[in-house]
């Protein structure tokens, strides 16, 4: 059990890292893009815009102090 | 074009992780002897091969759109974390990764730990195994996800293989940590490439139609790089102003 928790923790730290809000934001942005695409609307601008917004907010949080 | 990106991204990402593993192995090998450290390296490589052999082929059974969505999300999140750290380091908000300091710390800890009397040194073995296995898992993750989403694991493996040959070759020649590797620049480049691939694949997996098809990949990369460089510029200015303000306050305090 200890090893399973350590293994899960390693992958969490490796992929999600210091700011879980980036991961949550990416999932939310892609869900919106999928909805727009399914409705026949252009959605290609959402992923690059999400990168700019999420990274800027994350850097702002990291440098606030 | 995207094949060249694939090889380059796998090469750069693998090289960064391998430099970190090499630092640990050199610190252990030079302070406590090579035999157990090299057995640890060999055992870690076998364990890594088993992990890749078990999970790699399973990914080829997943439908390509679902795979690209999952891999795209993972790479996008992972790439943005690398880019975030590289931007914070480049602008002075985070200390730069110092392979020399890591080497000295690992070597001091290794020298302080008591040696066992037998020929086999469990401490050296464990440290070398852990270093190579954990950094290697990160390389395997990049090779398997990149390769499977782009439909060519051998190309991604070739990029990682080239990095292994160069990093291990240079390490064997100079027997010292590769402190001169511009690690933050490499991490910045890898973060930008991972974010680019992640944006493209996650978008495709979500049903987005990119203008120009695969050509969009070539446009997303400069967009990400320019955006990240702009963040470095803004944050460097902010950090400089904050440091000057702190210094001025300290000076006023000292004069009182």
Question: Cβ separation of B209 and A52 shorter than 8 Å?
Answer: no
- For chain A, the residue count is 65
Reference B85, options B186, B202, B15; nearest CA is: B186
How many Å apart are CA B153 and CA B38, to the nearest integer? 28
The contacts found for B224-231 with CB under 8 angstroms, 24 or more apart, are B224/A48, B224/A51, B224/B83, B224/B192, B224/B195, B224/B196, B224/B199, B225/B192, B227/A51, B227/A52, B227/A55, B228/A55, B228/B83, B228/B86, B228/B87, B228/B188, B228/B191, B228/B192, B231/A55, B231/A56, B231/A59, B231/B87, B231/B91
What Rg, from alpha-carbon coordinates, does chain B have? 21
> For A21, which residue in chain B has the nearest alpha carbon?
B77
Q: Compare all CA atoms of chain B with the CA of A39 and give the residue at the minimum distance.
A: B207
Tokens for B33?
């002897």
Q: What is the pTM of this model?
A: 0.74
Residues on chain A touching B233 (C-beta within 8 angstroms): none
Contacts of B209 in chain A (CB under 8 A): 37, 42-44
Given an 8 Å threshold on Cβ–Cβ distance, is A55 in contact with B228?
yes
Closest-CA distance of chain A to residue B115, Å: 26
pLDDT of residue A64: 84
Q: pLDDT per residue over B165-194, tens digit each?
A: 998 888 888 776 666 667 788 888 888 988
Any idea where the domains of chain B sit in the sequence?
2-242
CB atoms within 10 A of CB B50: 10
| Interface contact flag, A51 B224, Cβ < 8 Å | yes
Query: Do the Cβ atoms of A55 and B220 come within 8 Å?
Result: no
Q: Which two tokens stand for residue A32?
A: 């919106």
**Closest Cα to residue B36, out of B109, B113, B112, B119?**
B119
Choosing among B77, B141, B217, which should be mutated to test the A contact, i.e. which has the most A CBs within 10 A? B77
Residue of A nearest to B238 (CA): A63
Q: Chain centroid to CA B127: how far?
A: 19
Residue B5 structure tokens: 């990106």
Chain B closest-CA separation from residue A34 CA (Å): 5
Burial of B152 (C-beta count, 10 Å sphere; 0-12/13-18/19+): middle
Those residues whose C-beta lies under 8 Å from the C-beta of residue B138, and which sit 6 or more positions away, are A14, B13, B17
State the DSSP code for A42: -
The predicted-structure confidence for A2-29, as pLDDT tens digits, reads as follows: 777 877 777 787 777 888 999 999 999 9
- Cβ–Cβ below 8 Å for B238 and A62: no
Q: Is A38 on the interface with B (CB under 8 A)?
A: yes
* pLDDT per residue of chain B (256 residues) written in tens, 0 to 9: 577 878 888 888 888 888 888 888 888 888 888 888 899 999 998 988 888 787 767 766 777 778 788 888 988 998 899 899 999 999 988 876 666 777 777 777 777 666 655 567 888 888 889 889 888 888 888 888 878 777 778 888 888 889 989 988 888 887 766 666 677 888 888 889 889 989 998 999 899 999 988 889 889 999 999 999 999 999 999 888 888 877 777 777 766 6
């Amino acid at each position: 059990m200890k090893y399973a928790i350590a293994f899960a923790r390693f992958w969490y730290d490796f992929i999600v890292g210091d700011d879980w809000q980036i991961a949550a934001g990416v999932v939310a942005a892609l869900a919106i893009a999928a909805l727009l695409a399914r409705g026949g609307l252009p959605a290609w601008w959402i992923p690059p815009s999400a990168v700019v917004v999420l990274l800027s907010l994350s850097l702002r949080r990291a440098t606030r102090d | 074009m995207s094949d060249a990106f694939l090889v380059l991204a796998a090469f750069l990402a693998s090289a960064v992780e391998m430099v970190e593993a090499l630092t640990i192995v050199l610190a252990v090998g030079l302070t406590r002897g090579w035999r157990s450290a090299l057995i640890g390296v060999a055992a870690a490589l076998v364990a890594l091969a088993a992990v890749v052999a078990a999970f790699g082929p399973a990914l080829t059974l997943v439908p390509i759109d679902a795979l690209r969505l999952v891999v795209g999300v993972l790479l996008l999140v992972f790439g943005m974390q690398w880019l975030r750290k590289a931007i914070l380091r480049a602008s002075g908000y985070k200390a730069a990764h110092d392979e020399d300091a890591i080497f000295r710390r690992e070597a001091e800890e290794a020298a302080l730990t008591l040696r066992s009397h037998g020929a086999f040194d469990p401490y050296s073995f464990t440290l070398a195994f852990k270093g190579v296995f954990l950094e290697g898992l990160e390389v395997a993750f990049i090779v398997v996800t990149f390769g499977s989403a782009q439909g060519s694991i051998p190309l991604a493996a070739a990029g990682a293989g080239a990095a292994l040959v160069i990093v291990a070759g240079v390490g064997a020649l100079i027997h010292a940590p590769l402190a001169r590797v511009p690690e933050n620049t490499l991490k910045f480049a890898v973060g930008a490439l991972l974010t680019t691939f992640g944006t493209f694949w996650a978008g495709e997996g979500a049903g987005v139609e990119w203008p120009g098809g695969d050509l969009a990949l070539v446009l997303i990369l400069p967009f990400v790089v320019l955006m990240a460089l702009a963040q470095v510029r803004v944050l460097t200015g902010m950090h400089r102003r904050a440091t000057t303000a702190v210094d001025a306050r300290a000076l006023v305090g000292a004069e009182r």
